[in-house]
Amino acid sequence: MSARDELNTLFDRSIQVALHLVEKHGSHMPFAVGLTTDGEIQNIAADDSDLPGAEALHEWLVDYVKKAISIGHFRAIAIARNIELTSKEGVTSDAVEVTLDHLNDDAVVCYLPYRLDAGGISVGQVSAAEAETTLFP
């Protein structure tokens, strides 16, 4: 499996989990999905009783992942969080943001806007951009 295929697998899994949580709870706290150097998929979540707020949880996840990467535990990672996304036209919507990085590929950030109403969840088009920062050195 190529690095891009591994990132696609982590992206798909992250989106599935995030949308499930949004449908069940209205949003989701940040979480990560990693691919270990042994090829195992590992879910990572911070204890939200110790860290107040989504931003603190996201920062904890980034720090945790970087430490795990530094000791060779992961070869690919996806960090997902709920954000408010503003389109080029100035329209805001809720979205799942997934930052993807791989030991052997470039980091990318993907956005999936969604709307939750009484009929369930509906999603928009995925967009992607080069990540401003990387998780792998």
Residue 75 lies in a domain: yes
pLDDT at 51: 58
The confidence score (pLDDT) of residue 63 equals 95
Model confidence over 18-58: pLDDT tens digits? 999 999 988 888 999 999 999 999 999 877 666 578 888 88
Nearest to 100, CA basis, from 2, 1, 6: 6
What residue numbers bound the domain in which 65 lies? 3-130
State whether residue 10 is helix, strand or coil.
helix
Q: For residue 88, is pLDDT > 90?
A: no
More confident position, 15 or 116: 15
- Label residue 75 by pLDDT band (50, 70, 90): very high
pTM of the model: 0.92
Per-residue confidence (pLDDT) for residue 55, from 0 to 100: 86
Q: Is residue 22 part of a domain?
A: yes
Determine, yes or no, domain membership for 28: yes
124 located within any domain: yes
- Does residue 112 surpass a pLDDT of 90? yes
Q: Nearest Cα to 78, choosing from 62, 56, 100?
A: 100
Token pair recorded at residue 2? 């190529």
From the list 22, 24, 5, 1, the residue with the least C-alpha distance to 97 is: 22
- What are the distances in angstroms from CA 75 to CA 2, 19, 117, 127? 12, 25, 37, 24
* In-domain check, residue 136: no
Judge whether 36 and 69 are in contact, CB under 8 Å.
no
Q: Considering its fold, how many domains does the chain have in total?
A: 1
